[in-house]
Amino acid sequence: MNANSVTDLPTETNRLRVLAMISSMRGGGSEQQTLLLLRHLDRRRFDPHLFMTDPTGDLLKEIPSDVTIHTLGEQQSLSRLHLPGAILRQQIHHLKTLLIDQRIDVIYDRTFHMSRIAGSAGHKASVPRVSTIVSPPNHALPLLENRYRWLKKYQLRRAYLRSKSVIAVSQQTARSAEKYYRLPPNHVVTIANPVDRSRIDQLAQLEKVERDDRWTFACVARMTEEKGHRDLIEAIHSLEETWPIELEPIHLWLIGDGPLRRELESQASSLQLHQVSFLGTQGNPWKYIHAADAVILPSHFEGMPNVALEAMSLRTAVIATRIGGTSELEKDRPTLWWANPHSPESIANAMTELATRPDEVKQRLDAADNLLARHHDTQTQINKIESLLMNAV
């Protein structure tokens, strides 16, 4: 490992080798944020590397060409052993060897599984780490981990205690992590997700989405339990009776895929909701966000929703459930339209309120512009992460 002292700051030929860790590049919020970090890290100070356990996804082609990519070898990715933890132990051993061979100076691990691998491998290889927690663990871990949850919770607590710094993407997530893992007070620092406004605007303008005059809402999310798609479909069904007659009819785009897709398609079909379109995974979801009248996030919990930030950046109105880090997207002035989680009626009311109060739309979008500039600026937030990476060494 390269040993740089605090006073020996890296130069062009002596940069810190930082290894970012993510499961894949399929396009979720953590993948997008990891890619954003890799793009914007100061190349005068950092030599970026990327580790993936599953090197797949549409975002692979967007990784900067100067990023060194590391993946599990075929023999490591599939274990023939059926003992509990066998695959994890393989991954830890593989990562430890990689850290030493590649002389990695500091690790940036993001998501639960990456932190479990890095917590042990980094400790064994004496490589410091900066970890990021993206969802309130009291909600997310029970949903994502059904087997040996107590053991995984213990492993994560130990991993975060060993981290030089732990980042949470929202204050709600930070408080949840400190309580759930019994971490020391102020062990977790909040750095809200940045949003690359110029890049998103450029991607949104690449193609024009053809749409009609209907009131078009978009929901962009993986189709899993916590994203609340069932509530949204029920809300659309209830609006068939209550939608103001003077307004154009409703059209809903559901963008994304996931284990609940067939069930959701069946729900929409049984309710005869012909105004709901399942568009699947889209390589450029931003063109749909830009074309929609509003984006809806009916989530049951969130850390810091990238989709809301991206919609606000594109000046598309947002309806969201007031939960977790999403509630932090409003400060001193209204920026979003709010609904209650698990409440189709509340979602339907918010949709109607937005559509019938056009004068408020511009006011809230202007307030959203101001909020993004103050709290989610790309370079400002990346600089904060860079400082933690530097201080970790």
Residues 106 and 145 in one domain: yes
320-352, pLDDT tens digit by residue? 999 999 999 999 999 999 999 999 999 999 999
Residues 241 and 137 in one domain: no
DSSP letters for 262-315: HHHHHHHHHTT-TTEEEEE--S-THHHHHHSSEEEE--S--SS-HHHHHHHHTT
What separation in angstroms does the CA of 118 have from each of 74, 221, 368? 20, 28, 36
Say how far apart CA 303 and CA 288 lie, in whole Å: 23
pLDDT at 131: 98
Whether 203 has a pLDDT exceeding 90, the answer reads: yes
What separation in angstroms does the CA of 219 have from each of 32, 116, 251? 18, 31, 11
Per the structure block, which two tokens stand in for 283? 């390589």
Per the structure block, which two tokens stand in for 163? 């981290």
Is residue 8 in a domain?
Answer: no
Is residue 2 in a domain?
Answer: no
51-93, pLDDT tens digit by residue? 999 999 889 999 999 999 999 864 444 445 556 678 899 999 9
pLDDT at 5: 37
pLDDT at 12: 55
CATH code of residue 360 = 3.40.50.2000
Q: Which residue bears the tokens 């860790």?
A: 21
Residues 156 and 220 in one domain: no
Confidence of residue 143 (pLDDT cuts 50, 70, 90): confident
pLDDT at 75: 42
User: Given strand 16-22, what is the order of strands in its sheet?
Assistant: 68-71, 46-52, 16-22, 106-110, 129-133, 165-168, 188-190
Least confident of 34-38, 88-92, 333-337, 379-383: 88-92
Q: Once rounded to an integer, what is the mean pLDDT over residues 128-141?
A: 93
Whether 134 has a pLDDT exceeding 60, the answer reads: yes
Residues 259 and 224 sit within 8 Å (Cβ to Cβ):
yes
Is residue 11 in a domain?
Answer: no
Q: Which of 127, 130, 125, 100 shows the shortest CA–CA distance to 21?
A: 130
Is residue 354 in a domain?
Answer: yes
| 159-187 core/surface letters (b: 16 or more CB in 10 A; e: else) | bbebbbbbbbbbbbbbebbbebbebeeeb
Residues 242 and 365 in one domain: yes
Count helices and strands in the chain by DSSP H and E runs: 15, 13
Calculate what percentage of the chain has a pLDDT beyond 70: 93
Is residue 6 in a domain?
Answer: no
Residues 142 and 47 in one domain: yes
Q: Which domain holds residue 118?
A: 16-194+377-392
Terminal-residue alpha carbon distance, the chain: 11
Residues 181 and 240 in one domain: no
The number of distinct structural domains making up the chain is 2
Residues 118 and 262 in one domain: no
Contacts of residue 360, Cβ cutoff 8 Å, sequence gap at least 6: 334, 354
Q: Which of 335, 267, 278 shows the shortest CA–CA distance to 305?
A: 335
Residues 214 and 238 in one domain: yes
Residues 127 and 20 in one domain: yes
Residues 233 and 365 in one domain: yes
CA torsion through residues 313, 287, 300, 353, sign: positive
Is residue 3 in a domain?
Answer: no
pLDDT at 68: 97
Q: Once rounded to an integer, what is the mean pLDDT over residues 186-191?
A: 95
Residues 259 and 282 in one domain: yes
Is residue 317 in a domain?
Answer: yes
Residue 360: Cβ-neighbour burial (10 angstroms; 0-12, 13-18, 19+): middle
Residues 236 and 148 in one domain: no
Is residue 1 in a domain?
Answer: no
Q: Once rounded to an integer, what is the mean pLDDT over residues 258-286?
A: 95
221-233, pLDDT tens digit by residue? 999 999 999 999 9
pLDDT at 140: 86
